[in-house]
Amino acid sequence: KTGFLARKIHADMDGKKTPWGKRGWKTFYAVLKGTVLYLQKDEYKPEKALSEEDLKNAVSVHHALASKATDYEKKPNVLKLKTADWSVLLFQAQSQEEMQTWINKINCV
């Protein structure tokens, strides 16, 4: 599964609220491959290696839980991802259908 997703980091790996200045939305080209959700700056090109930044932004979805972010009302089509290491990420998909597909795919990993 691939597609554009805007990400907001809500809680860091220890579960603590992400500090001010690091809570903004940022759009990535997301690629779910195995148990890793890669968040790339640019659209995936097979001949191009992942940059250091792409690797830093990658998220393990192993033992993670995705659900609709029902408590977040500022934007539509937002899903919440709780990872095994207690971080909480919000992702805005481009449609309701896309959001549901991402939730299903992530939870099936």
Looking at residue 12, the DSSP 8-state letter turns out to be: -
Residues 54-83 that bind ligand I3P (CB under 6 A): 74
- Nearest to residue 107, comparing CAs of 66, 48, 60? 66
Binding flag, residue 20, ligand I3P (CB under 6 A): yes
CB atoms within 10 A of CB 103: 19
Binding flag, residue 26, ligand I3P (CB under 6 A): no
Binding flag, residue 22, ligand I3P (CB under 6 A): yes
- Nearest to residue 70, comparing CAs of 60, 61, 80? 80
Binding flag, residue 25, ligand I3P (CB under 6 A): yes
Name which of 32 and 57 has its Cβ closer to ligand I3P. 57
Name which of 21 and 46 has its Cβ closer to ligand I3P. 21
